[in-house]
């Protein structure tokens, strides 16, 4: 609920599984005076891959951040780790992209104001002007671009020093070239239980198929539409009485909750991607 | 929990929506001394279709069943209704078809014995001999057939005077000709959240896609595989920690509950089919 | 999603169960040219009580509203029915009472603007001034009162011609005298799965008890605190990792959805109260 | 699904939180050649308590089990840890206590046979003879005792060398003296969402209160009835249409799933108890 304390840091690693990984990392952190608060790990035995998230307290560090980072780099090199280190004093900067639906935008901005999302919302970008007043109401800069004008989008992202892009029911498809610049950093909400009803108009198709549950899926964007690694999903019950409008209404509640959960986990550096899937560490 | 009282009857109707439908049926039943206990109806405004289920008490009938049925037939003819009338003293006769998985068979037989399923389990049919001891243990006749030998299956169904077929993880595909003889009377359990993962090996595919929920779907069988009208669906949460075996284990619990629910609704004459979907009336 | 068409009406009845009830009501409506669109009924066999909701179309009425209402009154008298008739052209007028938490207020006002709640939000009342800007932003009158000053509250309700009161995390207890004037017309959201954690501070107590699910309950207010008839409930999973703040955050999402659902059902005249419980008709 | 490999071991520790805990344990295991497969930990900041579960592979141990256990004991002493070590080759021995309801017993025995529960079911004990045939059918010894005759129960448990007691709808209350001998080793299933409807007859009371969800709770037994640490809970939706019998039927499905989940977690040494609550580590 509160800001992430500046004296905390989070380390995320993934690598081929080997003996001594856990001990080496723990020993390295301990040796520098860092106190491990949380550690969650996962070994995918089939893939032979190891994943770990360690959150630790820097306040009694006996060396300094530079030395600690160098030591982690050394261990990582030895074990062939991919890794990233997030310092508590560096808040992530988020851009929210929208079109005309306002429910996810409102929801994210209200949660941000309530302290649920630990980031700076740097800018709201849209291919329409309609939602500008909502951004204004929360004091967030709003920038409009023409459809498909990704150069302008990128310029706005650069200007606002954005790390993470949230597509809050943004109705444009981003090009593979654009997506390639933001690997595992663009979060989309799709209004179905993927892989069911990929593509356009999922509520109408769910209605026509007569399903008894409708869903929503938050995923990282890749260059294959609706095929990116799934971060979170949820469903809600429906019946033959529900019209398409009812499914849209029920779905809105799901979309908001599922997208916010995925964004929160991403901001907390809990999500690792491999083999087209996510590992969400506690 | 108890047997359906012999003095109750259930009327299911569907027809193009017209004024006076509800009043005519209610008036007809009332005129013969039948007391309406439950009535649930649904109008699909898009399709212009009307559906109703009426459960009524025959114990103070002022005429008799033949006269009542004739009167209903007359109203039905006037409004162009499809209808069916289930008398409480005629229990449905069910065949359960299985292959090698025993969890759904066990579950159905235990529920039947506990009074949850109001029917006679007339026979268990299988393309394997393995599950014969389970049928024996519950005192149910067991008949084995060779794969694809639908003539033998049909003969066993005829011998046992079966109305309803339950595919309790039966691993054979029934031919269109066979299916055509049993419209909306064959219930299958598919081990995914349809339309996701239609066809073979859904748990492995769910694992590979990295979904965060796995599901199960009970549906009527039509001649398009896994495309029949959905009666019931449910999902359960999974994470990156779940192996395929874990998904199979979690899925078993879903399959049992979802199949049993669909069978129960079918036996209670709650399910109507139209436009490839179901209406499940209360 | 859209306004309730002015040519529709909803009849809600409850009475001791007797033969001929359904036929008499259906016949009466039919006889005046009203077309029944939906009808749902329930018989509580234990209590010997009958409940029905009928929604019908007035556009081809062969008499008029006055005559129809007189005819319904006549039938109701004959069967000892409690009844109420809601005309589609008369929108309900709602007051929202709040204290300092803004999430339910925001949620209701956003849903109202999105067309999800078919009513006029006549006024927002509060024992604090803090949330006045939110009401202003949606163009809803806001009135402040001192704690316990129920005479002022009642005056504002009268001025605004309010039918239904929604307590959207209103932190004051209303007196029995006040509550008695609004039977089954005050809806409260309690932040626990009632009857667990009645009274104050349910999230802290849920945390201390170590429950694995937290809940929210919407109910009609009676003069016994948190004992009123339950309209809707939901739960969400929690674990040992959740702090009280996490439970509060997860609970907010539940509170919003559960309260909105209860208000929607109430506005659609689906909810009947008897024996301290609700019947929510389809 | 398969037996726990004999070359695996699980270490569970809890202690006041201090720096260096994680590194010391990891270093100790690594130093003896044990390979950490999974490690999950939790720090309760409020209580200042640390909890960890480490599962490790013994197959390339460079010392032996005795030396490893001595080393762990040394670290534990230094940090004031409570700890327990479960060797993969020592399967837990479980007694199931029942009265007359058979659904949980059947469910546990079927899951055990399907490989879902990694233990030996050593004995079924009952204060009635009714369920003896079920135990026989699965080849499990069955022993009957008179109500309240805890000396006989204890003798049977001793004879069967039991570690864990599962109360599968056992309708007798165990004495404080008995319970004290089995701390965090007796698992009970209560047929409500605790702390709602503690004590007798929860389905009837849920029906009378008019709740919209019914629940089940698995917990460790302590000497205060239904107040023990909760391991798992779940709920299912109900409506005004559900009779008490319907709630019982819906509840049975919950009871089975919730009890089996709690037993599975217990058998996997995932559950730690403190402050009347559980920590369930991954």
Residue in chain B lying closest to D243 (CA): B1
Q: State the nearest Cα–Cα gap between D224 and chain C, in angstroms.
A: 13
The whole-angstrom separation of Cα B228 and Cα C57 is 34
Residue from the list C110, C116, C253 with its beta carbon closest to the beta carbon of A257: C253
For chain C, give the longest Cα–Cα distance: 65
Q: What six digits make up the tokens of B12?
A: 């299911």
* Alpha carbon distance D51, D258 (integer Å): 24
Q: Burial-class residue B184 by CB neighbours within 10 Å (0-12, 13-18, 19+).
A: middle
Is there a contact between A278 and B215 if contact means CB atoms under 8 Å apart? no
| Contact call for residues A269 and A10 (beta carbons, < 8 A) | yes
- pLDDT higher than 50, residue C2: no
Residue from D52, D190, D220, D240 whose CB has the most chain C CBs within 10 Å, to mutate: D240
CB pairs under 8 A between B and D: 21
Could you check whether the bond before residue A223 is cis, i.e. omega within 30 degrees of 0? Answer: no
Structure tokens at C9: 């009406």
**Pairing of the two strands D119-126 and D92-98:** parallel
Residue bearing tokens 């459809």: A147
Question: Which of B16, B26, B56, B236 to probe by mutation at the C interface, max C CB count within 10 Å?
Answer: B26
Using an 8 Å CB-CB cutoff, list chain B residues near D253: 257
CATH class of B93-280: alpha beta
CA C280/CA C269 separation, integer angstroms: 9
- Main-chain dihedrals φ then ψ at residue C145, nearest 5 degrees: -135, 160
Cβ separation B114–D137 shorter than 8 A: no
Residue D131: what pLDDT? 98
Angstroms from D75 CA to nearest CA on chain A: 15
- Dump the DSSP string for A248-280: HHHHHHHHHHHHHHHHHHHHTT-EEEETTEEEE
Q: Does the annotation count C120 as an active-site position? A: no
Contacts of D117 (CB under 8 A, 6+ apart): D94, D108, D111, D260, D263, D264, D267
Shortest CA distance from B206: residue in chain A: A195
> Is 80 exceeded by the pLDDT of residue D3?
no
Residue D167 CA: distances (Å) to CA of A72, C65, D110, D172, D263: 49, 63, 16, 9, 10
**pLDDT band at residue A5, thresholds of 50, 70 and 90?**
confident
CB contact under 8 A, D103 and B116: no
pLDDT value of residue A268 = 96
Q: pLDDT for A257-273, tens place per residue?
A: 999 999 999 999 999 99
Q: Flag whether pLDDT at C180 surpasses 70.
A: yes
What is the phi/psi pair of residue C24, to 5°? -65, -45
Task: Look up the CATH number of domain A8-87.
Answer: 3.30.70.260
Q: Is the per-residue pLDDT at D2 higher than 60?
A: no
What is the per-residue pLDDT for A4? 57
Instruction: Judge contact between D37 and D55, C-beta under 8 A.
Output: yes
Whether the predicted pLDDT of A3 surpasses 80: no
Selecting among D107, D163, D226, D269, the annotated active-site residue is D226
Decide if C194 and D210 are in contact by the 8 Å CB cutoff. Answer: no
Three-class HEC string of chain B: CCCCCCCEEEEEEEEECCCCHHHHHHHHHHHCCCEEEEEEEEEECCCCEEEEEEEEECCCCCCCHHHHHHHHHHHHHHHCCEEEEEECCCCEEEEEEECCCCHHHHHHHHHHHCCCCCEEEEEEEECCCCCHHHHHHCCCCEEECCCCCHHHHHHHHHHCCCCEEEECCCCCCCCHHHHHCCCCCEEEEECCCCCCCCCCCHHHHHHHHCCCEEEEEEEECCCCCCCCCEEEEEEEECCCCCCHHHHHHHHHHHHHHHHHHHHHHHHCCCEEEECCEEEECC
pLDDT reading at B2 higher than 50: no
**Do the Cβ atoms of A22 and D20 come within 8 Å?**
no
pLDDT, tens digit (0-9, with 9 covering 90-100), for D259-273: 999 999 999 999 999
What's residue B276's pLDDT?
Answer: 96
Please tell me the distance from the alpha carbon of residue A23 to that of residue C118, in angstroms, as a whole number: 61
The token pair at D62 is: 């460079």
Q: Which tokens hold the place of D147?
A: 């109500």
**Could you give the percent of chain C with pLDDT greater than 90?**
91
Cα–Cα distance list, D65 to B17, D61, D68, D92 (Å)? 77, 8, 5, 19
Which chain C residues are within 8 Å of A1, Cβ to Cβ?
A: 245, 248-249
* Residues A40-73 pLDDT 10s: 999 998 899 999 999 999 998 999 999 999 999 9
Cβ-contact C40, B282 below 8 angstroms: yes
pLDDT per residue over C98-135, tens digit each?
999 999 999 999 999 999 999 999 999 999 999 999 99
> Where in the sequence of chain C do the CATH 3.30.70.260 domains occur?
8-87
Instruction: Please say whether the dihedral angle defined by the alpha carbons of residues C188, C189, C191 and C196, taken in this order, is positive or negative.
Output: positive
Peptide bond into C240 cis (omega under 30): no
Task: Tell me phi and psi for residue B158, to 5 degrees.
Answer: -65, -50
Q: What is the pLDDT of residues A148-196, one digit of tens each?
A: 999 999 999 999 999 999 999 999 999 999 999 999 999 999 999 999 9
Whether residues B245 and D1 touch (CB distance < 8 A) is answered with: yes
Contact B38 C35 (CB under 8 A): no
Q: List for chain D the helix, strand, coil content (%; round to 5).
A: 30, 30, 40
For C187, half-sphere exposure in the C-beta direction (CA atoms, 13 angstrom radius) is 30
The C-alpha of A41 sits at a distance from chain D's nearest C-alpha, in angstroms, of 6
Least confident of A14-23, C193-202, D118-127, D253-262: A14-23
Ramachandran region of residue B115, left (φ > 0), alpha (ψ -120 to 50) or beta?
left
| Residue C186 DSSP SS3 | strand
Mean pLDDT value across residues B227-247: 97
Cβ(C118)–Cβ(C163) below 8 Å: no
Provide the number of CB pairs (under 8 Å) joining chain A to chain D.
Answer: 56
Whether D163 shows a pLDDT value over 90: the answer reads yes
State both tokens at C255: 């509170």
Say whether pLDDT at C1 is over 50.
Answer: no
DSSP class of C247 = H
Mutating which of D8, D16, D18, D26 best tests the A interface, going by the most A Cβ atoms within 10 A? D26
User: What's the whole-number mean pLDDT along residues C159-175?
Assistant: 97
> pLDDT tens digits for B134-184?
999 999 999 999 999 999 999 999 999 999 999 999 999 999 999 999 999
Backbone angles phi, psi at D19, to 5 degrees: -65, 145
Nearest Cα neighbor of C110 from C138, C77, C144 is C138
What predicted TM-score, i.e. pTM, was given to this entire model?
0.96
CA distance A51 to chain B (A): 11
Catalytic residues of B: 226
* pLDDT one-digit tens code per residue, A103-138: 999 999 999 999 999 999 999 999 999 999 999 999
What does the pLDDT average to over D5-16?
93
Q: Which residues of D are less than 8 Å from C239 in CB distance?
A: 280
B37, two tokens: 């206990």
Residue D69 has pLDDT above 90, yes or no: yes
| Helix, strand or coil, per DSSP, at residue D95 | strand
The answer, yes or no, to whether residue C5 has pLDDT greater than 90, is no
**Residue C253 near residue A257 (C-beta atoms within 8 A):** yes
Which residue in A38, A39, A110, A251 has the most chain C C-beta atoms within 10 A of its own C-beta, making it the best mutation to test that interface? A110
Short-list B98, D156, A229, CA closest to B109:
B98
Chains that touch C (3 or more CB pairs under 8 A): A, B, D
Residue A278 CA to residue A49 CA, distance in Å, equals: 13
Catalytic residue among A40, A107, A201, A226: A226
Structure tokens at A44: 């995918």
Q: What is the pLDDT of residues B190-221, one digit of tens each?
A: 999 999 999 999 999 999 999 999 999 999 99
Assign C4 a pLDDT band (cuts: 50, 70, 90): low
Q: Are C240 and D280 in contact (CB under 8 A)?
A: yes
Residue C51 CA from chain centroid, whole number: 17
Please give the residue of chain B at the shortest CA–CA distance from C57: B19
Boundaries of CATH 3.40.50.170 in chain B? 93-280
> Which uninterrupted H or E stretch holds C204?
helix C202-209
Q: What is the CA radius of gyration of chain B?
A: 20
Q: Specify the DSSP element, H or E, that contains A55.
A: strand A49-57
B245/D137 touch (CB, cutoff 8 Å), yes or no: no
Touching D (3+ Cβ pairs <8 A), the chains are A, B, C
So what's the ipTM on this one?
0.94
pLDDT band at A1 (very low <50, low <70, confident <90, very high): very low
Lowest mean pLDDT among B160-164, D58-62, D80-84: D58-62
């Amino acid at each position: 609920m509160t800001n992430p304390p500046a004296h905390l840091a989070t380390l995320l690693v993934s690598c081929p599984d080997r003996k001594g990984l856990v001990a080496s990392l723990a020993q390295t952190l301990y040796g520098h005076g860092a106190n491990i608060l949380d550690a969650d790990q996962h070994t995918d035995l089939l893939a032979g891959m190891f994943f770990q998230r360690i959150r630790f307290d820097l306040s009694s560090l006996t060396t300094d951040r530079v030395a600690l980072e160098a030591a982690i780099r050394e261990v990582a090199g030895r074990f062939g780790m991919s890794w990233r280190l997030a310092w508590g004093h560096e808040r992530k900067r988020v851009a929210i992209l929208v079109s005309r639906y306002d429910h996810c935008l409102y929801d994210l901005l209200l949660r941000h104001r309530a302290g649920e999302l630990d980031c700076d919302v740097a800018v709201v970008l849209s291919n329409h002007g309609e939602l500008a007043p909502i951004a204004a109401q929360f004091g967030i800069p709003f920038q409009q671009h023409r459809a498909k004008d990704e150069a302008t989008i990128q310029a706005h992202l650069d200007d606002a020093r954005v790390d993470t892009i949230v597509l809050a029911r943004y109705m444009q498809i981003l090009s593979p070239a654009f997506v390639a610049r933001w690997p595992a950093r663009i979060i989309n909400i799709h209004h179905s239980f993927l892989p069911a009803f990929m593509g356009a108009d999922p509520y109408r198709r769910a209605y026509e198929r007569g399903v008894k549950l409708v869903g929503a899926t938050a995923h990282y964007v890749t260059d294959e539409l609706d095929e990116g690694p799934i971060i979170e999903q949820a469903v809600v019950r429906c019946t033959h009485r529900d019209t398409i409008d009812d499914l849209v209404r029920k779905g809105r509640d799901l979309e908001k909750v599922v997208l916010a959960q995925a964004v929160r986990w991403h901001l907390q550096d809990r999500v690792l991607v491999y083999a087209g899937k996510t590992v969400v560490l506690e």
